[in-house]
Chains A and B, each alone.
Chain A
Amino acid sequence: MADWSELRDYVASNVTVTRDDSDAIWFDVRFKGGNVKEVGLIRAGELGGVSFVRVQTAVCPESAIDPADALNQNANLVVGSLVLDSGRVVLRQSLRIDDLQPDAFDEAVVAIATVGADLEREFGHTQTQH
């Protein structure tokens, strides 16, 4: 992907966007069986002149997990980590935009949605059933 606009266009052409603003878009990842998990693609800013995006999904309220447990859990995750975002714990993976290949992006989205749904169940919440 060349930039944020191209990545947005790629997402919009492949999934149904549920929420959209200038720096973030949200969409549902649908699992076999009908469950869905909402995933967000959020512009993360630049680091060293390189632009990044975050692929993230909600897991639980801040109060539902001990910070030490969240940090321990992160040791087991290959893609994504639990972080605190505006009072909610989310599973997040940062991706560099300029050399991001579609298959690598798709893989990150599926991993975040799948693991995020597992963690959401583990911490006492259920997925949305559509």
Chain B
Amino acid sequence: MADWNSLRTYVASHYGVWRESPGHWLMTAERDSDKRSLGILHKTLGNGSEYAVFQASICRATPETARRIFLRSGELVVGAYVNQGGVIMWKHSVRLDALTPSTLHDLYVTAMSVSSADAEAV
């Protein structure tokens, strides 16, 4: 994707955006009959490089779930876990100029499978 607006346009036309917060550059995508959601945030490094940060919720954060899920964090091939405002999420970032439609789809599938499996395990 050339930039964040290109990504917004692509996601809106191929996945559907059902919630967007311009102040936080947050979109949530869902596709076909899959009702799970994937948040995409726009972040910029100090050198100006733009990134898309993908996040999929797993469970509520408690001291017990945080420990269990952090112990399992090293097993992931892609991404890691994060506590975002009291919710444990799977997270992975990709530089925007390296993000292709196929990569976006792969990340969507990965996020959905990871968050589903981890929600059941925690």
Q: A residues touching B (Cβ–Cβ < 8 Å)? A: 44-48, 50, 52, 67-68, 70-72, 74-75, 78-79, 81-86, 90, 92-94, 96, 99-101, 104, 107, 111
Contacts and interface: CB of A to CB of B under 8 A. Distances in A.
Given A47-B78, A67-B71, A78-B53, A111 B61 contact: no
B110 A99 contact: no
B110 to A, nearest CB: 6
A84 B73 CA distance: 6
A99 B103 contact: yes
Contact of B77 (A52, A75, A111): A52
B14 interface: no
Contacts of A50: 106
Contact of B110 (A47, A71, A72, A107): A47
Contacts of A79: 45, 51, 93
Instruction: Decide if the interface of chain B is mainly helix, strand, loop or mixed.
Output: mixed
B110 A78 contact: no
B78 A71 contact: no
5 contacts: A79-B93, A83-B74, A84-B70, A90-B74, A111-B45
B16 interface: no
Contact of A68 (B66, B97, B103, B110): B66
B23 interface: no
A85 B98 contact: no
B106 A71 contact: no
Contacts of B106: 47-48, 50
Interface in B60-107: 61, 63, 66-67, 69-71, 73-74, 76-85, 88, 91-93, 95, 97-98, 100, 103, 106
A93 B91 CA distance: 11
Contact of A44 (B66, B77, B80): B77
A94 B74 CA distance: 11
Contact of B100 (A48, A86, A99): A99
Contacts of A107: 45, 47, 49, 95
A63 to B, nearest CB: 13
B109 interface: yes
